[in-house]
Amino acid sequence: MDVTREGHRDAPLILIVDDEADIADMLESYFRLEGYRTLVARDAAGAIEAAGRAPDAILLDVNLPDADGFSVCRTIRELVACPIIFLTARVEDADAIAGFAAGGDDYVTKPFSLEVLGARVRAQLAREHRRLDRATVRFPGGIVVDFARREVRVATDGGGHGERVATLARKDFDIVALLARRPGQVFDRDMIYERVWGEPGDSSVVTEHVRRVRRALAEAGCATNPLATVWGVGYSWRA
């Protein structure tokens, strides 16, 4: 797996998975010029590892040296919910159907236009942002994460008719939003800091913010702790 190529610190992160170096290099150069950050993996093992970096979109070649892209997609789908676009020379309808069944969001055949691929990536990211920005997600324990209002509410009765808003600072909610959008996925402290603050920094700050979030939820009446500590790694939102 290649290291992340940094663009603007707030730019979306695109994971490119292709074993053909010339294609991977071309895609990386194009998306970096378009202002994205990029991460490149050359095989299935690298793709699965890189998916743990919480990319915003994935370009996934169907033909990889150690596995087919469909099986890789099914595995990655257990880690991330971001858009996945298949890249392939296959043109049969059955392959496209298999790609969507595996959890893919789009299917682009080779050779392709970089401009068209870029437009498809932008469309998928915009669709994902609209979905998340409008979402109000209810979790076990009476916890409601409202991404549109940027607030977390806790049910005050068993019927869910009354709710109390947890008092969270901006960064506190940003951490909740990052984790709650991908329940069950483990984020290490360095990754959380980089995604929330937009740059590398002192990851011990994350520990303090997580402590504040837990305290705010408890004060709002939350009987469960949705922020799970994965010892030696970081945190995850309980699925």
How confident is the prediction along the chain (239 residues), in pLDDT tens digits per residue? 554 455 555 688 999 999 999 999 999 999 999 999 999 999 999 999 898 888 889 999 988 888 888 899 988 887 777 899 998 876 676 777 777 888 888 888 888 899 999 999 999 998 887 776 667 888 888 888 888 788 899 987 655 567 889 999 999 999 999 998 888 888 889 989 988 888 888 888 999 999 999 999 999 988 888 999 988 889 999 86
The pTM assigned to this predicted structure is: 0.62
- Does a cis peptide bond (omega within 30 degrees of 0) precede residue 140? no
Task: Give Cβ neighbours of residue 198 (< 8 Å, ≥ 6 apart).
Answer: 9, 10
| β-pair partners for 39 | 15
Spatial distance between the Cα atoms of 6 and 36, rounded to a whole number of angstroms: 8
Which two structure tokens, joined as six digits, stand for 79?
A: 């880690």
The model's pLDDT over 69-111, given as tens digits with 9 standing for 90+, comes to 889 998 888 777 789 999 887 667 677 777 788 888 888 888 8
- Which amino acid would we find at residue 174? D
Spatial distance between the Cα atoms of 100 and 116, rounded to a whole number of angstroms: 19
Which pLDDT score is estimated for 181? 84
